[in-house]
């Protein structure tokens, strides 16, 4: 009898954590995936009864899935539009998590110098109006660099992407022609170029094609040692994307609105990197399951208080202190 009781108790001890485990499902942006993976893993260590699964499918997919109610939360590098929020059957909160940037990555054999790009040059390249690397728009910004008479091959994302939203939001601010021709969005009708799926696809094509230029996220460029240039900002200075220059963009951008849907591209700061952005978790204000709502709120609180300390080691910029305080207040709405 005693032996059977011991076996029964051992079985119960093994089964209880599984029976009591809560699983949360999220999907969306690829840019913050390394950061989210780290956070979800660390949170699970503190709360073994909570498992957070995240599918890195792109911002467009994250928005669709949260609207359809097929996930507990979504994620996007570009805020949802007014029309998308109206489409939702429930209130969705935008919770900023970290900061990142898009960088102009290129492959140009024989050129070892770090290239400088003006807003006019970037708009011209992606409009298909600047077709050669030795175009005056590029040579003027790069005196002393022997730019070749070589065709420019434009690479862009083929999938719905927050990275694309950030880049096209920037181009729309610095070029009226771009704004009229393609505008901003997670997907746009590109005037020229070849498409690549994900940052991996874009980077892969840049590596393979001599003369190619595209845009990838800063974290991806740093981790994969991809060459990228500096960009002339609103203050007239050429600035390379770094954690400090991205943080400066957030610090000097327009005041954060109550719903956190802010654009910080082309920020006015002297050392601000101009193609910077927040990335957001898309959180239903009221979860279908109150228990999950309570866990999500607890995770978000931990993310703001403790998770922000882990950002620099993964090449992300943390939330500015004033934004973090506003986020803490917004989390109280989640239930």
Q: If DSSP codes are grouped into helix, strand and coil, which group holds residue 238?
A: strand
HSE-CB for 30 with a 13 A CA cutoff = 23
Per-residue pLDDT tens over the stretch 78-101: 899 999 999 999 999 999 999 999
Per-residue pLDDT tens over the stretch 256-273: 999 999 999 999 999 999
Per-residue pLDDT tens over the stretch 289-298: 999 999 999 9
Does 123 have pLDDT greater than 80? yes
Beta strands in the chain (DSSP E): 22-28, 50-56, 73-76, 92-107, 116-117, 153-157, 194-196, 212-217, 230-232, 238-239, 276-284
Does 114 have pLDDT greater than 90? yes
Per-residue pLDDT tens over the stretch 170-229: 999 999 999 999 999 989 999 999 999 988 899 999 999 999 999 999 988 888 889 999
The C-alpha torsion from 49 through 55 and 60 to 62, rounded to 10°, is: -10
Categorise residue 4: left if φ over 0, alpha if ψ from -120 to 50, beta otherwise.
Answer: alpha
pLDDT band at 3 (very low <50, low <70, confident <90, very high): low
Does 14 have pLDDT greater than 50? no
Does 72 have pLDDT greater than 70? yes
- Which residue shows structure tokens 């022997």? 146
Pairing status of strand 230-232 against strand 238-239 = antiparallel
- Which residue shows structure tokens 């108790």? 9
Q: What distance lies between CA 303 and its chain's CA centroid?
A: 17
Q: Is 11 exposed, middle or buried (CB count within 10 Å of its CB: 0-12, 13-18, 19+)? A: exposed
* CATH 3.40.190.10 domain range(s) in the chain: 22-100+277-331, 101-276
Q: At what angle do helices 290-305 and 33-46 cross, to 10 degrees?
A: 110
Alpha-carbon separation of residue 48 from 131, 296, 334 (angstroms): 55, 15, 22
Measured distance CA(46)–CA(25) in Å, rounded: 18
Tokens representing 109 are 């054999």
- CATH number for the segment(s) 22-100+277-331: 3.40.190.10
Q: What is the mean pLDDT of residues 302-327?
A: 94
Does 325 have pLDDT greater than 60? yes
- Which residue shows structure tokens 């077709």? 131
Q: Does the domain at residues 101-276 carry the CATH identifier 3.40.190.10?
A: yes
Mean residue pLDDT across the chain: 92
More confident residue, 16 or 166: 166
For residue 129, the model assigns a pLDDT of 98
Q: What is the mean pLDDT of residues 116-132?
A: 98
Does 12 have pLDDT greater than 70? no
Q: What is the per-residue burial (b if ≥16 Cβ within 10 Å, else e) of 104-122?
A: bbbbbeebeeebbbbbbbb
For residue 310, the model assigns a pLDDT of 96
Does 156 have pLDDT greater than 60? yes
Per-residue pLDDT tens over the stretch 21-54: 999 999 999 889 989 999 999 999 999 999 999 9
Q: What is the mean pLDDT of residues 154-169?
A: 93
What is the pTM assigned to this prediction? 0.88
For residue 223, the model assigns a pLDDT of 82
Residue 103: phi, psi to the nearest 5? -125, 145
For residue 4, the model assigns a pLDDT of 52
């Amino acid at each position: 009898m005693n032996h059977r009781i011991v076996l029964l108790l051992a079985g119960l001890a093994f089964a209880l954590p599984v029976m009591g485990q809560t699983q949360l499902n999220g999907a969306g942006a690829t840019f913050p995936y390394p950061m989210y993976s780290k956070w979800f893993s660390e949170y699970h260590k503190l709360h073994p009864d909570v498992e957070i699964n995240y599918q890195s499918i792109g911002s467009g997919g994250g928005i669709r899935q949260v609207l359809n109610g097929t996930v507990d939360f979504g994620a996007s590098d570009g805020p949802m539009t007014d029309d998308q929020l109206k489409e939702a059957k429930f209130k969705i909160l935008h919770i900023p998590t970290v900061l990142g940037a898009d960088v102009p990555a290129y492959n140009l054999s024989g050129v070892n110098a770090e290239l400088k790009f003006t807003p006019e040059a970037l708009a011209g390249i992606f409009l298909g109006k600047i077709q050669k690397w030795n175009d005056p728009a590029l040579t003027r910004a790069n005196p002393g660099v022997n730019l070749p008479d070589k065709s420019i091959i434009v690479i862009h994302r083929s999938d719905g992407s927050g990275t694309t939203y950030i880049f096209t939001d920037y181009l729309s601010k610095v070029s009226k022609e771009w704004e009229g021709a393609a505008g901003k969005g997670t997907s746009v009708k590109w005037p020229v170029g070849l498409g690549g799926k994900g940052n991996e696809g874009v980077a892969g094509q840049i590596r393979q094609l001599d003369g190619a230029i595209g845009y990838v996220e800063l974290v991806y460029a740093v981790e994969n040692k991809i060459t990228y240039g500096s960009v002339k900002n609103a203050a007239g200075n050429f600035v390379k994307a770094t954690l400090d220059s991205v943080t400066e963009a957030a610090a000097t951008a327009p005041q954060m609105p109550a719903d956190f849907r802010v654009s910080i591209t082309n920020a006015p700061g002297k050392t601000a990197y101009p193609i910077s952005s927040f990335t957001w978790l898309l959180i239903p204000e009221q979860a279908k399951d109150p228990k999950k709502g309570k866990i999500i709120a607890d995770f978000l609180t931990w993310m703001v208080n403790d998770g922000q300390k882990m950002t620099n080691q993964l090449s992300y910029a943390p939330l500015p202190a004033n934004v973090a305080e506003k986020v803490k207040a917004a989390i109280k709405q989640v239930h």
